[in-house]
Amino acid sequence: MRASRTLATVGLLAALSLGLTACGGGSDTSAPPAAAPASSSAPATTAAADGVTTNDDVFGPACSQLPQGDEPGSLNSMGPQPVATAASTNPLLTTLVTAVGKVPGLADTLNQQQGITVFAPANDAFTAVQQQLGEEEFNALLADTTQLQGLLSYHVTPERLDAAGLVEKKTLTQLAGGDLTIGGTAEAPTVTDGQGNTANILCGNIPTANATVFVVDKVLMPTS
């Protein structure tokens, strides 16, 4: 029963990934900023050699929803922290943080990596998965640490890249295996997963101590 249920969940995930909607329709990204901060402007179009970004490079429609100044979850606060610790205070990523916490040691592993790129699904992306699977199957996914670790690792590139670097690369091989295809421009990159589904960047070029983070509007799915 356990094996068949896991296989059923995998099949459902592959199917639902075709229908995931962008987070722009959810509460996390729908409200326009009252006054867009400087960090919401377009990023530099020349790739940084090391993929390291600054607060001035951050861009995207959801960036204005981050806390400001030195508040937890702000760019100033996240910048000096390793990626999993930084994500734990980001209000766009609370469901992702919960999922990472379900896999023993994964947060520590991410924090210890040197020079990675993380595609972080926003809360609404996981809400879409939950709605498609139903509460029981979604909870079963969170409880299956092997399957969950593989899915989350597919969102990590073992090389640090900024937006311009992503577009120059065009194809990325992920930590879990499998590829992502990058399209668009440095000002508006897109990320296409192994199932052929394309995610948009909600807030990109977020600097942390060991990673550059791109908040995306879909849960990315490998080919198999």
Residues 6 or more apart in contact with residue 181 via CB below 8 angstroms: 170, 171, 172, 191, 192
97 membership: H or E segment, kind and range: helix 94-101
Domain boundaries, the chain: 61-216
Return the DSSP state at 186: T
Which CATH superfamily includes the segment(s) 61-216?
FAS1 domain (2.30.180.10)
> Residue 199 and residue 197: Cα distance in Å, rounded?
7
pLDDT tens-digit series, residues 183-198? 999 999 999 999 999 9
- pTM of the complete model: 0.81
Q: Are strands 156-157 and 188-192 parallel, antiparallel or unpaired?
A: unpaired
pLDDT tens-digit series, residues 102-158? 999 999 999 999 999 999 999 999 999 899 889 999 899 889 999 999 999 999 999
Closest CA to 172 of 147, 190, 149: 190
Distance set, CA 16 to CA 38, 43, 111, 125, 148 (Å): 36, 32, 30, 11, 16
